[in-house]
Amino acid sequence: MTETTQTPTTTGPREPAWLTQEAYDRLKAELDHLSGPARHEIAQRIEAAREEGDLKENGGYHAAKEEQGKQEGRIRQLTQLLRDAEVGQAPSDSGKVQPGMVVVAEVAGQEMRFLFGSREIAEGTGLDVYSPTSPLGESILGLSAGDEATYKAPNGRKIPVKVVSAEPFTG
């Protein structure tokens, strides 16, 4: 049995996300829209609200500025994700847990089915997603059916996990 202790990190190199070509294209289209027409539209809304006068009590202005902040955050997120992404077909059906696999695992005695990789791939599939950098993800990366491990939850508790299966994500 393997034991993994997760220490959260916020700096250092990021693991590239595995994306299908379809997910990459969808996210690229979203980025193009947000950084083009949507950015222009929000700037126009802010300018129109500014022209209304007193900004302290202008709810439209404050709402537009807040939306702009969220939009700029999403643009940064998408830019980094697409820059670092590994685009291609699902991994081979090796049975090993790796990004792009749908994993069935017993976690603390409960069977779970989830996508191992990026939440951006699973949009609209209804699958939960676990990142390879999450405590659970780090503990099962590279394991095969029947392999067991434990990981340390944020509350300090050690959680047992057993890999039941790992199959390529087909979208």
Query: Which pLDDT tens digit goes with each residue over 57-87?
Result: 778 888 889 999 999 999 998 898 888 887 8
Residue positions counted in the chain: 171
Question: Is 13 a member of any domain?
Answer: no
Q: Are residues 32 and 75 in the same domain?
A: yes
Place of tokens 């202790």: 5
Domain containing residue 54: 21-87
Interacting residues of 112 by C-beta distance below 8 A, sequence separation 6+: 104, 105, 106, 128
Q: Which of residues 71, 87, 103 is at a domain's end?
A: 87
Two tokens, residue 38:
């949507």
SS3 state at 156:
coil
Q: What is the pTM of this model?
A: 0.61
**Is residue 16 pLDDT above 50, yes or no?**
yes
The whole-number pLDDT of residue 151 equals 94
Q: Are residues 138 and 97 in the same domain?
A: yes
Place of tokens 């047992």: 160
Q: Are residues 73 and 109 in the same domain?
A: no
**Is residue 10 pLDDT above 70, yes or no?**
no
Interacting residues of 93 by C-beta distance below 8 A, sequence separation 6+: 167, 168
Confidence of residue 171 (pLDDT cuts 50, 70, 90): low
Q: Are residues 103 and 56 in the same domain?
A: no
Residue with the bigger pLDDT between 113 and 123: it is: 113
Rounded to whole angstroms, what are the CA distances from 89 to 26, 99, 113, 142, 171?
16, 11, 21, 18, 10
Q: Are residues 129 and 95 in the same domain?
A: yes
The whole-number pLDDT of residue 19 equals 77
Interacting residues of 1 by C-beta distance below 8 A, sequence separation 6+: 148, 149, 150, 160
The whole-number pLDDT of residue 125 equals 76
Question: What is the average pLDDT across 1-5?
Answer: 45
Q: Are residues 64 and 106 in the same domain?
A: no
Q: Which of residues 87, 116, 140 is at a domain's end?
A: 87
Percent of the chain clearing pLDDT 70 (strictly above): 85
- From the number of C-beta atoms within 10 Å of its C-beta (0-12, 13-18, 19+), residue 22 rates as exposed
Q: Are residues 160 and 96 in the same domain?
A: yes
The whole-number pLDDT of residue 8 equals 38
Residue with the bigger pLDDT between 170 and 68: it is: 68
What is the CATH classification number for the domain harbouring 103? 3.10.50.30
Confidence of residue 113 (pLDDT cuts 50, 70, 90): very high
**Is residue 5 pLDDT above 50, yes or no?**
no
CB atoms within 10 A of CB 23: 21
SS3 state at 68:
helix
Question: What is the average pLDDT across 6-32?
Answer: 69
Question: How far apart, in whole angstroms, are the C-alpha atoms of residue 115 and residue 97?
Answer: 10
The whole-number pLDDT of residue 86 equals 78
